[in-house]
Amino acid sequence: MIQVHIEPDKLKVGSAAAALGGDAIRSAIAAQGHANIVLATGVSQFEVLAALVQRSDIDWSRVIAFHLDEYVGQPDSHKASFRRYLNERFVSLLPKLGGFQPIGGDAADLTAELARLGTLITQHPTDVMFAGIGENGHLAFNDPPADFADAEAFRVVSLDERCRRQQLGEGWFPTLDDVPREAVSMTVPQIMKSKLVVLAVPDSRKAEAVRGTLEGPITPMVPASILQRHPACHLFLDPESSALLQKATKAAGN
């Protein structure tokens, strides 16, 4: 079941998501001595990461961070690189971080890189997953129709046009032709293994995907709808992204 939280604005969405996720990180450290987290990127995560790095009550030396996806063939010097994004907004701001395991989307041997990542994520089960939902309903870069039964932890996937147009619209690339057509993505089954999933999804352009995720059937055509089956998923929305939800859904969420 997805627990819905509607906050008054984008800043409150980020701070509330970071508060819930940060408390879960502290609880994991208290229970087992360490915590493993997965981070998302993109415009929707700016406020989440900004609030999360302010959590001085977390022993970051006991935290290992992974991330959801990375473009194939793109160096970390590119402004749209998710490794660069996370280094600038998270890793470099937490000098005591226990570790960061980046996805080498430009690795010479992608098969070996996928195997490396799969082994690492198996060794470090995810305590807290921070993620978003794409305009096309994607989860990570699992565009529709998503594979809900993939046996691998990470996979090279093709990006559909709506996904690529979202990356263009967010200002990461000058033209649609510059947006990569493939990415390395954590798979849906691997995401579902996370103990807690914290979604931050503001803005009106996400309203249709939010409605499909919460009120539609569970379908590969709306990849994030699979989270209806997750035992501990929290979705943080603002008035714009929740605008198409039925009143009953909003009332139940709050």
Q: What is the pTM of this model?
A: 0.95
CB atoms inside a 10 Å sphere around CB 95: 8
Within-domain flag for 6? yes
Domain that holds residue 62: 2-194+205-235
Within-domain flag for 243? no
> Where would I find the H helices in the chain?
10-32, 46-52, 82-89, 110-123, 161-169, 188-192, 207-215, 247-253
Within-domain flag for 179? yes
pLDDT for 57:
97
Please give the chain's pLDDT, 254 residues, in tens. Answer: 899 999 999 999 999 999 999 999 999 999 999 999 999 999 999 999 999 999 999 999 999 999 999 999 999 999 999 999 999 999 999 999 999 999 999 999 999 999 999 999 999 999 999 999 999 999 999 999 999 999 999 999 999 999 999 999 999 999 999 999 999 999 999 999 999 999 999 999 999 999 999 999 999 999 999 999 999 999 999 999 999 999 757 766 64
Within-domain flag for 244? no
The tally of domains found in the chain comes to: 1
